[in-house]
């Protein structure tokens, strides 16, 4: 009897752990109905019939727990629910994030330790079920088990119909598996709908004669979201920077307009923000991303090529094969291996933003004979946000990047920094500040009289940093020496200068392509 009670407690803790991590409030969630059901089944069912059922129950419980833990992690990192159909491929990205922050050896060690832990928990659970199955039981125990079986089944049936008769009880495994099943059905339906939209999309590029002959530079700042501007925890750093940027750019003869647009994601998956901006479609999951790339739908890459531009992308975070870049059809792809950087990686960040912009200006833009459409990704404000580099006043000293070796081991190590979330938030604010300062100095010195710069965030930081209630908005700064290029954006509600107006964004990043068509197209 005591062993069965211990099994029920173990199952209860295991099944409720994902809910406690996701929502907290342990006092309102301390009974897992499946734990009562399984313990009762071990008593009620004849032992001979449980031989095949025990491993099946072990697998079901482990899948439900892992999916629940994944859901809690996805909420903290990306501000949304886990979708197994879409998110399993992201495990590769998680490993590369670990590799960038901890090194290859520690990344593999962490991964193997996690797999070993899962295997040990599954083995222990299977052993506990076997031990519970072998318990001798008397009539009183069997009666109690029957009552528990009836009560737990009744309460689970009520919760299946969205009625909670016992406030402290949950059915976490049932709810998790049911939700993932619904996600599967809805995702496959969305797959068909999106594929139909792709088939109905135009297959011809739209030339932009209003921008012909001008460099058009689309520069994404990693994790630069509206929270960094309006949240008091970050704005005391960002607001003075935006004011300083406005003064510096104005002194250089540049005019600015700023608005907010909604990114399709939070916390990560920057490529979905890039895809939404380039395609003019809201791309908020990996399936739609793959479908869009596999389709013949044109993007801004095609539009600018039709306008006579040389198209290219500078992606210092891309360290592996990147067939997606080829699918976009860029004339040039400058990934990490294509950039002559002689400095050190700085945890996950392969090279600092000041080097990226210096390299782009000196080695790519200056020698170009045709006008450029360039997508550039700045990554210094990517987690883990350490170290924070100073901006070098002498850009010529940037050189091949070897000067940055003096900061190779600077700053707080990530594993130490991330023990204190308040310090992490401070570092996040200062890393965005670094990216903005670097961008402003580069633009003031090098943008020129004819170019159009769109400097924008790719997404908000993770909800773990900015809070669950934060929105999806990212600042979009349009900068040029030609005020006529900014007039259409001001007409759409953008504010003069570098400060966006507070309030929810009315459009998403996908609106940019349509606006360029309307304002500068044929």
Under-70 pLDDT residues of the chain: 1-7, 24-28, 43-54, 75-80, 85-86, 88-103, 106-107, 110-111, 114, 117-119, 121-142, 145, 195, 197-203
**144 Cβ neighbours under 8 A, 6+ residues apart:** none
Q: Is 253 left (phi over 0), alpha (psi -120 to 50) or beta?
A: left
Query: What percent of the chain is modeled with pLDDT above 70?
Result: 82
DSSP character string of 457-518: ES-BPPHHHH-TT---EEEEEEEES-GGGTHHHHHTTPEESS-PPSS--SSBTTHHHHHHHH
Contact 209, 522 (CB under 8 A): yes
**Which residue, chain included where needed, has tokens 């406005």?**
246
* 448-479 residue pLDDT tens: 999 999 999 999 998 888 988 888 999 999 99
Structure confidence at residue 86 (pLDDT):
67
Of the candidates 346, 329, 415, the residue with the CA atom closest to the CA atom of residue 381: 346
Distance between CA atoms of residues 40 and 445, nearest Å: 74
Residue ranges of the chain assigned to CATH 3.40.720.10: 210-242+268-468
Return the DSSP state at 267.
Answer: S
Strands 473-480, 31-32: pairing is unpaired
210-242+268-468: CATH number: 3.40.720.10
Phi-psi region of 373 (alpha: psi -120 to 50; beta: other; left: phi over 0): beta
Helix, coil or strand: residue 47: helix
CA 13 to the chain's CA centroid: 30
- The pTM of this model reads 0.74
Nearest Cα residue to 352 out of 434, 249, 267: 434
- Which of these, 247, 254, 255, 276, lies nearest to 264 by C-alpha position? 276
pLDDT at 318: 86
- For 519, the token pair is 């304002």
């Amino acid at each position: 009897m005591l062993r069965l009670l211990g099994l029920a407690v173990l199952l209860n803790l295991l099944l409720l752990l994902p809910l406690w991590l996701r929502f907290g409030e342990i006092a309102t969630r301390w009974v897992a109905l499946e734990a009562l059901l399984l313990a009762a089944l071990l008593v009620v069912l004849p032992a001979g019939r449980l031989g095949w059922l025990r491993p099946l129950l072990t697998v079901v419980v482990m899948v439900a727990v892992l999916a629940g833990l994944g859901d809690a992690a996805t909420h903290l990192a990306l501000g949304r629910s886990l979708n197994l159909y879409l998110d399993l491929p992201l495990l590769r990205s998680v490993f590369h994030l670990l590799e960038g922050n901890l090194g290859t050896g520690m990344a593999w060690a962490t991964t193997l330790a996690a797999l070993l832990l899962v295997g040990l928990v599954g083995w222990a659970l299977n052993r506990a079920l076997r031990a519970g199955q072998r318990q001798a039981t008397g009539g009183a125990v069997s009666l109690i088990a029957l009552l528990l079986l009836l009560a737990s089944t009744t309460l689970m049936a009520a919760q299946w119909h969205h009625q909670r008769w016992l406030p402290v009880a949950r059915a976490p495994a049932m709810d998790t598996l049911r939700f993932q099943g619904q996600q599967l059905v809805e995702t496959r339906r969305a797959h068909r709908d999106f594929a139909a939209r792709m088939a109905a999309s135009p297959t011809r590029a739209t030339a932009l004669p209003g921008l012909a002959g001008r460099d058009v530079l689309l520069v994404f700042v990693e994790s630069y979201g509206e929270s960094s501007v309006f949240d008091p925890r970050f704005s005391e750093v960002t607001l003075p920077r935006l004011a300083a940027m406005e003064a510096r750019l104005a002194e250089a003869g540049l005019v600015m307009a700023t608005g907010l647009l909604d990114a399709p994601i939070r916390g990560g998956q920057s490529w979905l923000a890039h895809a939404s901006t380039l395609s003019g479609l809201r791309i908020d999951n990996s399936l739609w991303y793959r479908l869009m790339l596999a389709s013949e739908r044109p993007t801004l890459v095609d539009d600018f090529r039709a306008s006579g531009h040389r198209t290219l992308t500078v992606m210092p975070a891309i360290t592996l094969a990147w067939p997606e870049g080829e699918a976009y059809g860029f004339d040039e792809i400058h990934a990490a291996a294509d950039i002559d950087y002689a400095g050190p990686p700085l945890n996950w960040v392969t090279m600092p933003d000041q080097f990226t912009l210096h390299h782009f200006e000196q080695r790519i833009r200056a020698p170009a004979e045709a006008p450029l459409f360039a997508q550039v990704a700045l990554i210094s404000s990517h987690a883990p946000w350490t170290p924070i580099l100073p901006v070098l006043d002498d850009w010529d000293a940037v050189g091949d990047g070897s000067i940055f070796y003096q900061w190779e081991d600077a700053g707080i190590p990530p594993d130490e920094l991330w023990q204190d979330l308040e310090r992490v938030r401070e570092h996040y604010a200062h890393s965005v500040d670094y990216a903005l300062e670097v961008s402003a100095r580069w633009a003031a010195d090098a943008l020129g009289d004819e170019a159009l710069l769109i400097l924008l965030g790719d997404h908000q930081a993770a909800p773990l940093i900015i809070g669950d209630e934060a929105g999806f908005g990212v600042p979009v700064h349009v900068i040029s020496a030609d005020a006529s290029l900014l007039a259409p954006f001001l007409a759409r509600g953008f504010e003069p200068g570098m400060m966006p107006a507070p309030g929810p964004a009315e459009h998403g990043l996908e609106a940019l392509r349509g606006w360029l068509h309307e304002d500068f197209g044929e």
